[in-house]
Chain A
């Protein structure tokens, strides 16, 4: 039942002739038996089973990446469009490399401005992209919730590549994968993870809050009080109404005995909007320096979603130091995005799954792990094997 462990699909591609027709997803019979989501819009709808499946699949993809030619044919013939309404290098290239490693046909669209100022609505753009053959759409957008609108008008799969302040699911997943590979025993539960900086404006912080609390981590959000607005109330309610986390502006308390410290990017606009007096003051009070890291456990990990302002939220020697796993995050990003693309393609491979998943997604079913394992998913496994 473990899709990720299926060896056939991930046979080295170096023997593969690009013209050879039989190495399709279906022929490789790797049904994503437990994966039924049509889209990846946020981490909040993922069950712990979903997260486990993504982690296992990512591990397989990471193995693929160690090969001389890190390429498999899983998505051959699949059109993947990467549509970014916000400037990004890291995430966009990561998705592109991931899709190409899976042999997908990748189209990149960099929309410099918002859809409205461009004169074409997002819905029109989505329809156009679909008409041009895209079966998967990776969307980055400055407006929270934009991928939900896209998902309503796109018959394929939408991957949220970051929307406003809301969610950045693949970043959270790559962070989780990085922790699973780097923490002793791969155990995230019970570890103290500090997310430091501009939490209020951070989709990375929000998505990590869902996934890390789901994994049982002891999450601390720390930063200037003006950049934590609203999070005390969320902490009081708990993630999903029960999973507790801590919010504080007391940096030493947050860092003390931390297992992981994740610094967030601080942006200059925060000064213009009166949320911070100056970058210098931010660096002095909340910058992650070597001295401050000494409060954490000796082997604590340092993370950053990038791009970094070295010398502001993180000191250069911390960013590149022994404890830093920042470049590993980047490498893991490719593996995690390969895994997600692969799983979504598998779910899409069966019409039965597609329909039932669409119904569930639109109903916003959030806690129906049991239902997801029911008839539709079994059908899909059977169908994929039969094909």
Chain B
């Protein structure tokens, strides 16, 4: 604490440097009569689960009279979620988030493993930055597992390969220049082959920057009416097309290559991935919760979920006609890259989860300091603080019948685990409700709603367009690696 003399008085004792938080307590649970969802075994139904000293002692599936009165609308137990795409901003932008606050936010959202992106300052392009991040994770005391992607290029400038081999040895689970695409086709080609040799995927953020210079909002009716610079869907599809063409080219010589495309947001780019998977290319992709459920109409002041905007012929209604505008336009919390798209694109993202084109839901959790968002829409930092609202959004889609519960949970657990492959096998592998394994699970109650507000978010980034909104599925308990990562206060 500062003294009355203030900082610099030279007498105040320094705070103990990097005090280690105490390790989280081992979980002891006896959950009877819940709805268990276990994508690893493909099983879902009424059951009981007992955890002793952090180890799953018993998983009992209930049948007949024992299962009566238990349904999927109440307490759910599922494996802990894995987020392929988060920004924890440390090192370099600790005003927006730190590893410790990011991990706390993850636990609050039901996530027990997260994968941080390398667009820190300095970039995660060599092992010492990774060591620093791991130290921060250890110091936080959080049992949530922090995985990291290394940069593809030095300083993420797209010119020279980062120290891929050294980063792999240090434990990164893939490479990405996220925030930007891998700039040149030639560099991507080399990176895919080299990372393939290391057994790791390249995670690309597909965007043709020549089509998005100055872009503010999805090119379409909303951007036209509001006078915002259009961000064409083709900027994503052309980049996805480029990446897939290169992948098809190199896979012949380097069969271990893997390409993961993150935060796909348009029907056209998902169609390209669908086609590429059909011909057997090693490509995977994820979609974000906000691209599933929010649309560009939110920028105009609409606050309906994407599926509520769809009128009879499968197209979105006109918000200026149907009276759905309920908030002021130009809310900077809605500025995000890629931009919120049309409702038809959101429907395509949902459909891609259903048919397996999309392998995972990843949050692209992008916290920002208030000062970077409390500005004009077009000048606001891009990104949504989303790791704590992901489950609620996804459950809203489940409630609306747009996803099954098992598809949704798989896209948060086994789906992203498959994307990372065996290299992600750290502590919590396999991701399932398996007797004898350390408990790695989330307990949430679909019958309980919670209201998103700044105080309710553990993240430093309060830049959520859902502030003030009530979401289904309050998280009751998150257990990571046998330890309690988050426990809801008594209701």
Q: Please tell me which stretch of A137-145, A180-188, A300-308, A312-320 contacts chain B, meaning at least 4 of its Cβ atoms lie within 8 angstroms of it.
A: A137-145
CB distance from B331 to the nearest CB of A (A): 9
**Residues of chain A within 8 A of B228, CB atoms compared:** 144-145, 164-166
Q: Are A144 and B377 in contact (CB under 8 A)?
A: yes
Asked if A121 meets B227 with Cβ closer than 8 Å, knowing A148-B328, A233-B221, the reply is no
* A122 part of interface (Cβ distance < 8 Å): yes
Q: Are B330 and A145 in contact (CB under 8 A)?
A: yes
Q: Please tell me which stretch of B17-25, B90-98, B181-189, B316-324 contacts chain A, meaning at least 4 of its Cβ atoms lie within 8 angstroms of it.
A: B316-324
Q: Are A206 and B225 in contact (CB under 8 A)?
A: yes
Q: Are B227 and A234 in contact (CB under 8 A)?
A: no
Binary contact track A160-186/B, C-beta < 8 Å → 1, others 0: 000111110000000000000000000
* A115 part of interface (Cβ distance < 8 Å): yes
Binary contact track B346-385/A, C-beta < 8 Å → 1, others 0: 0000000000000000000000000100111111000000
CB distance from A221 to the nearest CB of B (A): 11
Q: Are A240 and B321 in contact (CB under 8 A)?
A: yes
Q: Which residue of B lies closest to A163 (CB)?
A: B227
Residue of B227, B321, B326 near A144 (CB, 8 A) is B227
Q: Total A-B residue pairs with C-beta atoms closer than 8 Å?
A: 106
Residue of B227, B321, B374 near A166 (CB, 8 A) is B227
Cα distance, A248 to B172, chains bound together (Å): 54
* B329 part of interface (Cβ distance < 8 Å): yes
Q: Are B376 and A237 in contact (CB under 8 A)?
A: no
Identify which of B221, B224, B317, B326 gathers the most chain A CB atoms within 10 Å of its CB. Answer: B224
Interface residues of A in 337-364 (CB under 8 A from B): 361-364
Q: Are A234 and B376 in contact (CB under 8 A)?
A: no
* B223 part of interface (Cβ distance < 8 Å): yes
Q: Which residue of B lies closest to A143 (CB)?
A: B376
Residue of A145, A152, A367 near B226 (CB, 8 A) is A145
Asked if A141 meets B376 with Cβ closer than 8 Å, knowing A230-B230, A237-B318, A366-B320, the reply is yes
* A241 part of interface (Cβ distance < 8 Å): yes
Cα distance, A362 to B330, chains bound together (Å): 12
**Residues of chain B within 8 A of A362, CB atoms compared:** 327-328
Interface residues of B in 369-423 (CB under 8 A from A): 371, 374-379
Q: Which residue of A lies closest to B213 (CB)?
A: A273
Binary contact track B208-234/A, C-beta < 8 Å → 1, others 0: 000000001001110111111110000
Q: Are B375 and A122 in contact (CB under 8 A)?
A: yes
Q: Are A144 and B320 in contact (CB under 8 A)?
A: no
Q: Are B320 and A241 in contact (CB under 8 A)?
A: yes
* B325 part of interface (Cβ distance < 8 Å): yes
* A104 part of interface (Cβ distance < 8 Å): no
Interface size class of A (residues with CB under 8 A): 35 or more
* A198 part of interface (Cβ distance < 8 Å): no
Q: Are B325 and A230 in contact (CB under 8 A)?
A: no
Q: Is the interface of A mostly helix, strand, loop or mixed?
A: mixed
* B301 part of interface (Cβ distance < 8 Å): yes
* A12 part of interface (Cβ distance < 8 Å): no
CB distance from A40 to the nearest CB of B (A): 14
Interface size class of B (residues with CB under 8 A): 20 to 34
Q: Are A364 and B301 in contact (CB under 8 A)?
A: yes
* A369 part of interface (Cβ distance < 8 Å): no
Cα distance, A238 to B317, chains bound together (Å): 12
Cα distance, A376 to B237, chains bound together (Å): 51
Cα distance, A302 to B225, chains bound together (Å): 25
Q: Are B224 and A234 in contact (CB under 8 A)?
A: yes
Cα distance, A115 to B375, chains bound together (Å): 9
Cα distance, A206 to B216, chains bound together (Å): 17
Residue of A114, A144, A242 near B216 (CB, 8 A) is A144
Cα distance, A152 to B332, chains bound together (Å): 12
**Residues of chain A within 8 A of B330, CB atoms compared:** 144-145, 148-149
Q: Are B226 and A166 in contact (CB under 8 A)?
A: yes
**Residues of chain B within 8 A of A145, CB atoms compared:** 226, 228, 329-330, 376-378
* A220 part of interface (Cβ distance < 8 Å): no
* A65 part of interface (Cβ distance < 8 Å): no
Q: Which residue of B lies closest to A85 (CB)?
A: B376
Q: Which residue of B lies closest to A199 (CB)?
A: B224
CB distance from B234 to the nearest CB of A (A): 13
Cα distance, A144 to B380, chains bound together (Å): 12
Q: Are A164 and B230 in contact (CB under 8 A)?
A: no
**Residues of chain B within 8 A of A203, CB atoms compared:** 227
Q: Are A364 and B376 in contact (CB under 8 A)?
A: no
CB distance from B372 to the nearest CB of A (A): 10
* A231 part of interface (Cβ distance < 8 Å): yes
Cα distance, A365 to B322, chains bound together (Å): 12
* A55 part of interface (Cβ distance < 8 Å): no
Q: Are A116 and B379 in contact (CB under 8 A)?
A: yes
Q: Which residue of B lies closest to A152 (CB)?
A: B328
Binary contact track A229-269/B, C-beta < 8 Å → 1, others 0: 11101100111111000000000000000000000000000
Interface residues of A in 36-50 (CB under 8 A from B): 44
Cα distance, A86 to B352, chains bound together (Å): 45
**Residues of chain B within 8 A of A152, CB atoms compared:** 328
Q: Are B378 and A241 in contact (CB under 8 A)?
A: no
* A146 part of interface (Cβ distance < 8 Å): yes
* A123 part of interface (Cβ distance < 8 Å): yes
CB distance from A121 to the nearest CB of B (A): 6
Q: Are A149 and B375 in contact (CB under 8 A)?
A: yes
Q: Are A167 and B227 in contact (CB under 8 A)?
A: yes
**Residues of chain A within 8 A of B230, CB atoms compared:** 229-230
Q: Are A367 and B376 in contact (CB under 8 A)?
A: no
**Residues of chain A within 8 A of B327, CB atoms compared:** 362-364
Residue of A233, A238, A367 near B224 (CB, 8 A) is A233
**Residues of chain A within 8 A of B220, CB atoms compared:** 230, 233
Q: Are A237 and B221 in contact (CB under 8 A)?
A: yes
Cα distance, A144 to B332, chains bound together (Å): 12
Q: Are B376 and A206 in contact (CB under 8 A)?
A: no
Q: Are B301 and A234 in contact (CB under 8 A)?
A: no
Q: Which residue of B lies closest to A168 (CB)?
A: B227
Q: Are A44 and B320 in contact (CB under 8 A)?
A: yes
Q: Which residue of A lies closest to B299 (CB)?
A: A145
Q: Are A367 and B323 in contact (CB under 8 A)?
A: yes
Identify which of A143, A240, A242 gathers the most chain B CB atoms within 10 Å of its CB. Answer: A143
Q: Which residue of A lies closest to B300 (CB)?
A: A364
Cα distance, A363 to B325, chains bound together (Å): 8
Binary contact track A6-35/B, C-beta < 8 Å → 1, others 0: 000000000000000000000000000000
Cα distance, A122 to B378, chains bound together (Å): 13
Asked if A144 meets B371 with Cβ closer than 8 Å, knowing A166-B227, A233-B221, A366-B323, the reply is no
Residue of A44, A146, A366 near B376 (CB, 8 A) is A146
Q: Are A164 and B227 in contact (CB under 8 A)?
A: yes
**Residues of chain B within 8 A of A238, CB atoms compared:** 318, 321
CB distance from B287 to the nearest CB of A (A): 24
Q: Can you list the 5 inter-chain pairs with the closest CB atoms, starting with the nearest?
A: A241-B321, A145-B330, A166-B227, A165-B227, A230-B224
A sample of 22 inter-chain contacts (CB < 8 A) reads A44-B320, A114-B379, A141-B376, A143-B378, A145-B376, A148-B328, A149-B332, A149-B374, A149-B376, A164-B378, A167-B227, A203-B227, A229-B219, A230-B220, A230-B230, A231-B224, A238-B318, A239-B320, A361-B328, A364-B327, A364-B329, A367-B323
B contact residues vs A (CB 8 Å cutoff): 216, 219-221, 223-230, 301, 317-318, 320-323, 325-330, 332, 371, 374-379
11 new A-B contacts, CB < 8 A, other than A166-B226, A234-B221, are A115-B375, A121-B375, A123-B374, A123-B375, A148-B328, A151-B328, A165-B227, A229-B219, A229-B224, A231-B224, A364-B301
A contact residues vs B (CB 8 Å cutoff): 44, 114-116, 121-123, 141, 143-146, 148-149, 151-152, 163-167, 203, 206, 229-231, 233-234, 237-242, 361-364, 366-367
